[in-house]
Amino acid sequence: MAARRIYSLLSRVLSSPPASLSPLPTPGSCIYGKRISTRFSTSTTVEELIAPPVEITYTKNLINGHFVDAASGKTFPTYDPRSGEVIAHVAEGNAEDIDRAVSAARKAFDEGPWPKMTAYERSRIMLRFADLIEKHNDEIAALEAWDNGKTYEQAAMLEIPMLARLFRYYAGWADKIHGLTVPADGNYHVQTLHEPIGVAGQIIPWNFPLLMFAWKVGPALACGNTTVLKTAEQTPLSALYVGKLFHEAGLPPGVLNIVSGYGPTAGAALASHMDVDKVAFTGSTGTGKIVLELAARSNLKPVTLELGGKSPFIVCDDADIDKAVEFAHFALFFNQGQCCAAGSRTYVHESVYEEFVAKAKELAMRRVVGDPFKTGVEQGPQIDSEQFKRILKYIRSGIESNATLECGGERFGSKGYFIQPTVFSNVKDDMLIAQDEIFGPVQSILKFKDIDEVIRRANATRYGLTAGVFTKNIDTANTLTRALRAGTVWVNCFNVFDAAVPYGGYKMSGIGREKGIYSLTNYLEVKAVVTPLENPAWL
């Protein structure tokens, strides 16, 4: 079924969905993969919305194992992007709340059991947490879809199972972190110790709230650190819910603290806090610069940044065009286009350009837009009014720059933040839609003549997060993968996010790597221990 192809397209690590999932969509639906039959976006409306089958229970900050009101008593609304209506009011954390959370995390690190616990026991708690994630898959997915606007099927069939997979992956690392013995000149025994860095401040974005939760919290806890996590103000609900499950799994108080609030208040307080030992941030490049500056001006804490992207998706003249069109569509429109890895600059060889554009337009026009809780819907609303208006502004810019609007270009429906899947052809490199990260369902298709030209143009950007290459020629593939200045290059595939594959960017797309073994180094200090040997046995 088409629904099952989501696994091969994104992670290739799940052989089947959890038993607790709702039934798979019936034939005729289309979810990110090959279509079984044609469905048109006009067949789905957003005027009547499905009530998500989940109760909002946790809206307070999670500090030292307890859900507590904000110090100020203030709350802020979180909205349903399908309608713009308020879902719930959430405790609005500020600098005082961050200070309380950091104090709890510091005490849990300095005095508490987590870093002193055996690595095996830490692993067992993380594994129990993963089991609880699977047990509560459907309600977590409903919260994620309701608060974010992503389709329920995407959340339930991909993201929540991947959340469990990521924590199992990091649980497996917990008791395998060890140092080395070092041969040194003279009569010395030298060893290195890999020790937890301390209190980690972590700031996650709204586009993949729980996957970014796992990318941050997983390696930090596996290494024995304690954490203070600030959620995105647009999507606080799912992290608070799974935070409760983590404590149900046996996590000691103070190890994981979650504060919801705004960037200029709670986020800035966390990045600049003198008792935070390390900061990890995912978000825009502009905000990343602010986080880095705040961290440097406080206690010079190390920072990892996963930032923006404007990724090239290169289709060579020998590529399988139908497959390339499908993956280019997926690379751009997945998650409503709200993905930093999105293949948002589609470079197509001039010999196959017209065929590619025609098929890309046809595929976009068949994309199903509507209520993300309806079976078979591929594209839900954008996250909020601000992002909705920003995307429409970029679309107007493309039209005014004389790019050819092949389809879309308008809002979808009369309520909520839905945008029609939009395709531009005849796009030039100097247009804003080819330069800026739009973060929406807008595909820009550019033409190129030869490999040297496309390498130069693909690299002519301040970003360097990901890239896609479609070709049947191994020499072409090798040339492009070596030449492209990007942290990840996918060849004849896209968006493969296995837990073990490192992820991060070149240039202004970030600092450091997340996922895989490389993410552990973000949360460890290396200590050298040197001991003299008075009478070494081998001499």
DSSP string of 157-218, one letter each residue: IIIHHHHHHHHHHHHHHGGG----EE--SSSEEEEEEEEE-SEEEEE--SSSHHHHHHHHHH
Q: Which two tokens stand for residue 450?
A: 């030869």
Q: Which two tokens stand for residue 267?
A: 């986020």
Cβ proximity of 6 and 31 under 8 Å: yes
Q: What is the largest CA-CA distance in the chain?
A: 84
Pairing type for strands 85-91 and 75-80 reads: antiparallel
Cα separation of 203 and 16, whole Å? 31
Cα separation of 423 and 337, whole Å? 12
Verify whether residue 96 is a known catalytic residue: no
Q: Specify the long-range contacts of residues 356-359, CB closer than 8 Å, at least 24 apart.
A: 356/315, 356/321, 356/324, 356/325, 356/328, 356/445, 357/406, 357/423, 357/425, 357/445, 359/321, 359/322, 359/325
Q: Phi and psi at residue 497, in whole multiples of 5°?
A: -115, 50
Question: In residues, how long is the chain?
Answer: 539
Torsion of CA 80, 86, 89, 94, to 10 degrees: 70
Catalytic one of 306, 326, 378, 437: 306
Q: Quick one: which of 300, 256, 261 has its CA closest to 278? A: 300
Which sign does the torsion angle of CA 92, 511, 488, 313 carry? positive
Alpha helical stretches, state H, 441-515: 451-459, 474-483
Cα separation of 310 and 332, whole Å? 11
Cβ proximity of 44 and 161 under 8 Å: no
How would you class 511 by CB atoms within 10 Å of its CB: exposed for 0-12, middle for 13-18, buried for 19 or more? middle
Q: Which two tokens stand for residue 137?
A: 């898959």
Which residues carry out catalysis?
306
